Structure 1
Amino acid sequence: MTQLSLATVLAESARKYPDKIAVIDSVTTERITYRELWQQTLAYASALQAKGIGPGDVVAIQIPNLADFPRVYYATLAVGATIVPMHLLLTPEENAYVLTDSGAKLLVAHSSQLENAVAASKIAEVDVVSVGPAVPGIERLEEAVTTPLRTYVSREAEDVAVIFYTSGTTGKPKGALLTHLNLVMNTIVNVFDIHDLHEDDVTMGCLPLFHTFGQTVGMNGTFRMGGTLVLLARFTGEAAIQLMVKENVTIFHGVPTMYIGLLEAAGKAEKLPELRLCVSGGASLPVAVLEKFNETFHAEIFEGYGLSETSPTATTNQPAFGTKPGTVGHPIWGVEVEIARPEIDERIELLPDGELGEIVIRGHNVFAGYLNNPSATQEAVVDGWFRTGDLGTKDENGFIAIVDRKKDLVIRGGFNVYPREVEEALARHPAVQQVAVIGVPDATHGEEICAVVVADPGSISADELIEWSREKLGKHKYPRKIRFAESLPLGPSFKVLKRELRKTYGSDAQ
């Protein structure tokens, strides 16, 4: 069997760029070289071994965007164990489910997360150790350090490196099994085959590292190319701009809500960062936001697309193929992305260019299945293709466009309405800061279109916005209901939680 470990990403850069700064931690103000980061990692790895952790064991990690995240992450890989990154916004009960389902043997939590972590570990009966400032009564991982490992334990390419728990819209979250090969390949392709990246690039690490986008594209990608990762533990537009200016950040990875936050903060900033490359993923980026960002920051956003189950990157706008706003570009190297007939479950039937269907993916990035859930794996992977649950099209030039999630489709009076299209239109109104569109039950039409809008108070009324949208959208598409909110509910990866909006506004009969 072929041996391969994701730990190689850091180990090799420590060998190649020992004196370069690998991580800047904006909370602790640490500036850590690659040599230091790898030595700290091998010390933590010895502590994990002393705690009885070895190849095939599962270690859960509950750490914010601090230097301790990569230290513990690569230490876990270095002993040959599998990582379960814990979402920081879940309840102890939700986290206990993840600990139990994954079979975690140990939970390593930062001291700032201990209240939640200890509660979850008690329910799941899992040992917990801390990193960061000492907390009375809780063992610190540092205390178990013996002689640092000489090198990392080798693994087989198809062994599981990371289990990502996907925030299920229905039922319990599912553990997506990502192999060393999945994650090493995705990291390499992101760094060397898509954009022109340099070892002197400085990357903004404000995407949560527990999430696949921040972990693979941000952290692993930066370390693979020998760049510097600047960590921000809590994102706000103001804090991000200040830190990017201070540390001369050249690359920004974010989700649409972050780009909106940067735009809102830009007007108050004394100076804006000189960004060379911006990448957006995680959710659809309104074209109006992309255009305004390019104009304000003089930096082009390349929108991409991926899922936890695809390591994550599947497609992205990339210079080699040209870019097209409103699309997620072309498949990455070694990956095929096609459109399949959505109503057929048991086999994959590909559709011609231009037709709307379900986006399906195959290649080195597709996961090894869902943990303890063969039926879900069987539904998701058909004829070697991963069914994404997203509806989209592929044009004659190969650009993939996402129309919407299959489950977010609104059927009003027998007509299909795609919320993304309505959101794109409303996002162009100058008073609208953020918008999410959902279907709500309606006695006459089955479903009615409801737009939940964040806007400046008093800047526009619901009737004015409805009237404005009538001119921009077809008769069956424009929203008949506008609800104003102070903010939209966001998940741990900063995606808008439409299921929460449906709970709040679904029975709203006004």
Structure 2
Amino acid sequence: MSLSVANVLGESARRYPDRIAVVEGAVRLTYRELWHDALRCGAGLRAAGVRPGDRVAVLLPNTTEFLRVYYGALAAGATVVPVHGLLVAEEVRYVLEHSGAVALVSGGPLWAVAEEAARSAGVRALQGAPMAPEPLRAAEPAGPGDTAAILYTSGTTGRPKGARLTHLNIVLNASVTSQDLLGMGERDVVLGCLPLFHSYGQTCAMNGTLRAGATLVLMPRFSGPAALAALVEEGVTVFMGVPTMYHALVEAAASDERRPVALRAAVSGGAALPVAVLERFEETFATQVLEGYGLTETSPVATFNQPHLGTRPGTVGHPVWGVEVEVADAGVDDRIELLADGEIGEVVVRGHNVFAGYLDDPEATAAAVVDGWFRTGDLGVRDEDGFLSIVDRKKDLVIRGGFNIYPREVEEVLVRHPSVAEVAVIGVPDEARGEEICAVVVLRPGAGDVGAAELVEWSKERLGRHKYPRLVRFVDAMPLGPTGKVLKRALAGVGAGADSGSGSGSGGSEGSRG
């Protein structure tokens, strides 16, 4: 039995050859044209020495070139290794060596880093998609359990790990997302501003859109004003983004009266979306926001706010088709002990979306997959109606004086202050209480003279005595990862610089984007 991710594009090209598959600026490619280009790229990779079963690394921005190489490599029978676009050469070298890639395809502004990394790793670097004169006759067959892509995790606790996603993982997750969750079809236009090297952008936006025969609008570099313009000018019907993108769009709309008339659904994932931001977006754009949840290791979607099951802001909905999601005792490592509804524990997942394990790391795989369940490392709770809420990451939990404090709960309160644009709550070492709660804040433009004491008092009135932040630091911007997720580990230095005492941390340093 063959089930290749390459045929996500190939089948749509057969069914809808003249539909527009992808838009990048003035470039518009039909499904027939994109599939022909992918097969030519596959033939070019074969000519460059790539054989079925080999691994091909891809370091490209969100352009049509990424799609040519991604589907071309899969059509040639290779495994794709998408490389994080913000890595330095030494980090890229590690991915190349660890994955065993035989070639690296790159170009544009990323070429210099790619060339240096490939040279030091002894891997062949190809500038741009290698296009052969004649295309492959067809895509190489692939088994459902064969590895289609190796995606490297962020490596917050050491070297990045390579998560092996199978053809079945990706095809089913893309199909469930586009059809069961969003009901996408030929008239849909999806804005693809999520990085394609990331599982959210790759499976949901790219593969999900092409699986449905819809149109993918690429945005190589995201900004609020540019995204708003694209939503309006391209007639976008489905927007997929992360919380920081929603915030940026709301801010852009404050100075731009244009509104997208075709937008029918907005999907949020990658991190918790503050309810206040969700409400502002829905009010501004008159479009319902559907929040979901998943991880690289779950291909990525595990749960989603599904209208036919009911939606509930502040939750991540119910498990998607074919997937089970439960809450287990977070303090038990060697087995899974499921908890009753209403109890906080570690979110665990099993189903067709769970990855095949970490590349060459059986110990990490065994720790992550226990009794057939994938341990997410996220703390969650399920209510009596089956809605799952993500409380926080296990590692982000703040323990103050013996009390468990969940940063997201504090963030939800602070972000409702009229002068606060963004907030991240972290724990900082404290001799008396073990950890103290520190709020790192980005103020809204024109907020005026808002001090730490005011924000502490705002929190104090709305949170229990053990929960409100005693420390506040102001930054100009949050340090962000490639998908727009706030990198809390990069804020440790900001929090550590705060003096103890109520609201005394009113200074602060500028956050850097990462």
TM bucket (normalised to shorter chain) is over 0.9
| Count of aligned pairs | 497
Which letter maps to 1:109? S
Structure 1 residue 77 and structure 2 residue 64: aligned?
no
TM-score of the superposition, structure 2-length normalised? 0.95
**2:465 match:** 475
- 1:362 Cα deviation after fit: 0.1
Could you list the per-position Cα deviations for residues 372-392 of structure 1 after superposition, in whole angstroms to 9, with x for gaps in the alignment?
110000000000000000000
**1:64 match:** 61
**1:353 match:** 341
**1:196 match:** 183
2:101 to 101, 104, 117: 104
Superposition pairs for residues 96-495 of structure 1, below 5 Å?
Answer: 96-131=93-128, 141-142=130-131, 145-274=132-261, 275-455=263-443, 456=445, 458-495=448-485
Could you list the per-position Cα deviations for residues 37-63 of structure 1 after superposition, in whole angstroms to 9, with x for gaps in the alignment?
000111111100001112110000011
Which aligned segments of 4 or more residues in structure 1 are displaced greater than 3 angstroms?
A: 456-459, 507-510
In structure 1, what is the Cα distance between the partners aligned to 2:117 and 2:371?
39
In structure 1, what is the Cα distance between the partners aligned to 2:257 and 2:180?
36
- 1:289 Cα deviation after fit: 0.5
In structure 1, what is the Cα distance between the partners aligned to 2:301 and 2:123?
32
In structure 1, what is the Cα distance between the partners aligned to 2:416 and 2:230?
29
**2:504 match:** none
**2:512 match:** none
TM-score of the superposition, structure 1-length normalised? 0.96
Structure 1 residue 42 and structure 2 residue 31: aligned?
no
In structure 1, what is the Cα distance between the partners aligned to 2:318 and 2:126?
43
- 1:507 Cα deviation after fit: 5.0
Secondary structure of 2:257's partner? Answer: coil
The answer as to whether partners of 2:473 and 2:498 remain within 8 angstroms in 1 is: no
The answer as to whether partners of 2:41 and 2:69 remain within 8 angstroms in 1 is: yes
Structure 1 residue 16 and structure 2 residue 21: aligned?
no
* Runs of 5+ unmatched residues, structure 1: 132-139
Could you list the per-position Cα deviations for residues 425-481 of structure 1 after superposition, in whole angstroms to 9, with x for gaps in the alignment?
001011100000000001111100000000036341111111111101111111111
Which letter maps to 1:458? G
**2:507 match:** none
**2:3 match:** 4
- 1:503 Cα deviation after fit: 3.3
The answer as to whether partners of 1:440 and 1:507 remain within 8 angstroms in 2 is: no
The answer as to whether partners of 1:438 and 1:449 remain within 8 angstroms in 2 is: yes
In structure 1, what is the Cα distance between the partners aligned to 2:116 and 2:481?
21
- 1:10 Cα deviation after fit: 0.2
Which letter maps to 1:468? W
The answer as to whether partners of 1:186 and 1:365 remain within 8 angstroms in 2 is: yes
Which letter maps to 2:77? G
In structure 1, what is the Cα distance between the partners aligned to 2:448 and 2:254?
20
Which letter maps to 1:211? H
In structure 1, what is the Cα distance between the partners aligned to 2:80 and 2:319?
27
Could you list the per-position Cα deviations for residues 467-501 of structure 1 after superposition, in whole angstroms to 9, with x for gaps in the alignment?
11110111111111110000000111211101110
Calculate percent identity across the aligned residue pairs.
59
- 1:296 Cα deviation after fit: 0.4
Could you list the per-position Cα deviations for residues 285-306 of structure 1 after superposition, in whole angstroms to 9, with x for gaps in the alignment?
0000011110000000000000
In structure 2, what is the Cα distance between the partners aligned to 1:336 and 1:270?
43
In structure 1, what is the Cα distance between the partners aligned to 2:449 and 2:162?
44
Which letter maps to 2:457? E
The answer as to whether partners of 2:184 and 2:214 remain within 8 angstroms in 1 is: no
Secondary structure of 2:41's partner? Answer: helix
The answer as to whether partners of 2:472 and 2:498 remain within 8 angstroms in 1 is: no
2:86 to 53, 70, 89: 89
Secondary structure of 1:397's partner? Answer: coil
In structure 2, what is the Cα distance between the partners aligned to 1:346 and 1:304?
28
The answer as to whether partners of 1:59 and 1:81 remain within 8 angstroms in 2 is: yes
Secondary structure of 1:304's partner? Answer: strand
- 1:112 Cα deviation after fit: 2.0
- 1:110 Cα deviation after fit: 2.0
2:27 to 30, 33, 52: 30
Which letter maps to 1:407? K
**1:134 match:** none
Could you list the per-position Cα deviations for residues 195-228 of structure 1 after superposition, in whole angstroms to 9, with x for gaps in the alignment?
2322210000000111100110000010011000
In structure 1, what is the Cα distance between the partners aligned to 2:248 and 2:234?
19
The answer as to whether partners of 1:441 and 1:507 remain within 8 angstroms in 2 is: no
In structure 1, what is the Cα distance between the partners aligned to 2:465 and 2:369?
38
Which letter maps to 1:500? A
